[in-house]
Structures are given as C-alpha cells and as structure tokens.
Structure 1
Amino acid sequence: MTDSVTGLLIPVPDEDGAPFWEYAARGELRVQACAGCGEPRFPPRPCCPRCQSFDSEWRRMTGRGRIWSYVLPHPPLLPGYAALAPYNTIVVELAEAPAIRLVGNLVTSADAPINSVDPAKLRIGAAVKVAFHDTGEGLTVPRWLLERP
C-alpha cells in the first residue's frame, strides 16, 4: 500500500504480524519467539520452523543492532521516491537475536526524511538503534539511527 499524500510504501499488517505493529505503535521493538523452544523468528508466522510448536510469545528487544547490508536504490521504482533519491534501505541484524534481520531506513531522527543520512556514512557493521516513525496512516514503523552519527 502507498501513503495517500507522499506516495511512499506503507506496510500492510497481516494477522500473524499484527502484534509487531501494535508494539511499534507503543515505541517497543518486539519479535515473535517460540514459547516451546525459545527460538526467535521473523517474519512472524503461526508455527515454529525449529520445533513445529504453535505456541508463541512476543519478546521485547533492546532495539540495538548493526547494519548487516544496505542498498541505495537507483533509479527509484515508484514516483513517490524520485524526489528522495538517493535514499538508503538497510538490513539490521539485531544485537540480542543475530538471526533476526529487519529492513528499514537509516535516518537522522525518527521523523526525518528517508534521505536524511549522507550515503557516505553507511557502513556494514555500523551500530544502530531503533526509532519509531508515525506514518500518519495509522501505522508506526521502525527506523534506524546511527549510535555514533
């Protein structure tokens, strides 16, 4: 789905992932984990891929991690992104759950534009922390800030 004003992509929560977005709206980063074997998993799903249990819980994360990968898309694929190029999309490996990797944007503040960080500052392994951005479309999304800008 795209934002009605900016034309930027907005995630569409599904039944399994709805709690992720509810916690994000409260400023909490949580990931689903198996209540049977304890294995964290993302994206959320009904069954644990490790032990096949259908019991799950939502664990609060510190919101700290490292840039595992990134891309500077060229050319922009959607018109809403054209004025923002170059912008970044990063993959963050969570500190306490390294197998969990979340996709987002590296920004200078939670409400800054997605092109607010100089692309020269992007580094694999850079320490980041989560910040939450209200999209204005009834959804709050995690974004990422450099630990040491």
Structure 2
Amino acid sequence: MTTTESGYLSPVIDDDGAPFWEYAARGELRVQACANSGCGELRFPPRPCCPHCQSFDSEWRKMSGRGRIWSYVRPHPPLLPAYAEQAPYNAIVVELAEAPRIRLVGNLVTSADAPLNSVDPERLRIGARVQVVFTEVDGVTLPRWVLERT
C-alpha cells in the first residue's frame, strides 16, 4: 500500500494483480484461478504460479460478491491523519461465499460512496453476511462491503 496525495491508502498495482483492479473498475469481483484442468484452485493474492500444482496458466473467475465477516478491527486511534476525521471506522476481513479460503480486506459501509464511519460499530459481527460494492477513491476503484439484505 502507498499513500495518495490526499493521504489515503492506495494499493500498489503490480503485473499479477492488475487484472483484479481492472475488473473492480468495471464493478466485478474476480479472483485468480489456476487454469490447469486438473487443478482449478482459486488463489489470492494473485501470483504467477499456482501454489498447488505449480502451473503458470491462470484465469480470472467472477465471484458472486457475497461473503461473511471473518474478522474486523476498529483502529484506535487512526494511524494516518487522513482517516482521523472518519473515526471510528472499521476494517473487515471478508471470507468469500464460494471460496472460503479466499479472504479480502475492506471496509463495511452503508453504501458504496458512504464515509468509512457510516456503519455503527455496534453492528459489526463476526459471521455477518455482506455483499461487495465498489467506489472510486483517488483514481482507484476499491471493493467495499455492505450488510446483505435478508
């Protein structure tokens, strides 16, 4: 991660991860998968070689965008000044519904463009079902999460 001119964290986009961010910019959550017909394992973070079969063949599979909160934290105090005005906010780890070994980090918000502190901290629960939404921050489209409506 790097910091942008506005002081927010921004991902470092390398060759292996670039497709993830390109799909995010289109509003799609995709995860890298081994394209070896005998393997097919999903992997995140993206990398050139499958850790299961060592194949260099890969593809990007579309995910449903559903998951559950696997873990969360409320930073006290925020470590970067740009985030101080949005405290208290959260950072969550989401386990994807169709790929429980794949976990993504983001923020739980009330809507895609809502501030990071839009969800009452008392509503955070391990196991809560969430759905991905996307928003652009400083030129990068980031996945965020909203509580799934049931």
Q: TM-score range by the shorter chain?
A: over 0.9
Q: Which residues in structure 2 correspond to 1:104-123 (within 5 Å)?
A: 104-123=106-125
User: What 5-or-longer segments of structure 1 have no aligned partner?
Assistant: none
Instruction: Name the structure 2 match of 1:148.
Output: 149
**Is it true that 1:52 corresponds to 2:66 in the alignment?**
no
* SS of alignment partner, residue 85 of structure 2: helix
Q: Which amino acid aligns with 1:17?
A: G
Once superposed, which parts of structure 1, at least 4 consecutive aligned residues long, lie more than 3 Å away?
none
TM-score, scaled relative to structure 1: 0.96
> In 1, Cα distance between the equivalents of 2:55 and 2:86?
43
> In 1, Cα distance between the equivalents of 2:58 and 2:107?
28
Q: What's the CA shift for 1:40?
A: 0.1
**Percent identity for Structure 1 against Structure 2:** 78
Instruction: Name the structure 2 match of 1:29.
Output: 29
> In 2, Cα distance between the equivalents of 1:85 and 1:40?
34
TM-score, scaled relative to structure 2: 0.95
Instruction: Name the structure 2 match of 1:41.
Output: 43
Q: What's the CA shift for 1:93?
A: 0.2
* SS of alignment partner, residue 98 of structure 1: strand
Q: What's the CA shift for 1:8?
A: 1.3
Instruction: Name the structure 2 match of 1:19.
Output: 19
> In 2, Cα distance between the equivalents of 1:65 and 1:76?
26
RMSD: 1.1
> In 2, Cα distance between the equivalents of 1:50 and 1:76?
38
Q: Which residues in structure 2 correspond to 1:66-145 (within 5 Å)?
A: 66-135=68-137, 137-145=138-146
Q: Which amino acid aligns with 1:34?
A: C
User: What 5-or-longer segments of structure 2 have no aligned partner?
Assistant: none
Aligned residues: 147
Q: Which amino acid aligns with 2:13?
A: P
Q: What's the CA shift for 1:3?
A: 3.0
Instruction: Indicate the structure with greater strand content.
Output: 2
Q: Which amino acid aligns with 1:112?
A: A
